[in-house]
Structure 1
Amino acid sequence: MLTQDVTKELEAVMDQLQQQGKQPTVALVKTRLKTPVPMPALIAAIKSWKSASRIPKVEVAVQTPSEDDRITALEKTVAKLVVRIEELEAKLSEKTS
């Protein structure tokens, strides 16, 4: 399973909250994160930050798109490419006529 290190992102969020004069809470941190972090890891990181002003290394599983999502994305890409090919063919036939 692939993992992603989110420690730096957590530190940035905590620093931002501290600069704003706010105490980091689960809700505040969770809403500011771009990467989903499991609740137990988030709670442990906040506790560590409050007690020692440091965050332990936090890694989360990389979210992989489902097969249906991948197929949908590929179908959209193919549709766009078909339109572009048709436009190019039309331009090419105009030039040769």
Structure 2
Amino acid sequence: MSQQEIYQIAHQLKQQGKTPSVALIKSQLSVSMPLTAIIKGLQQWQKNPALGETKAEQPAETAAPADTNASADIATLNQQVTSLRQQVATMKVEIDELKNIIAELKAK
């Protein structure tokens, strides 16, 4: 699945009064994951236990900035796509010009 599943399992184990460990998390995963991924996920969760909280457990305030950030990210990506399309169009014109020059040189 994902790192989020590791965070959620660690959070659930902590709520049950258990100390999250690689073995406990591995035993509860819905899909087998490499040990390195489990270890990394557990370490990240230990640094920030809030990662394992479900959306219902998180305060409503934290959801709003994410939406704002997502909108800003989308706008930035749209600008980048527009810029890249313009660059591709310019390059196509240049390629056509080079093809014409090559054809002229071959004709000589």
Please give the TM-score of this superposition, normalised by the length of structure 2: 0.42
User: Which structure's relative contact order is higher, taking Cα pairs within 8 Å and 6+ residues apart?
Assistant: 1
Higher share of residues assigned helix:
2
Higher share of residues assigned strand:
1
Q: Which has the larger radius of gyration?
A: 2
Please give the TM-score of this superposition, normalised by the length of structure 1: 0.46
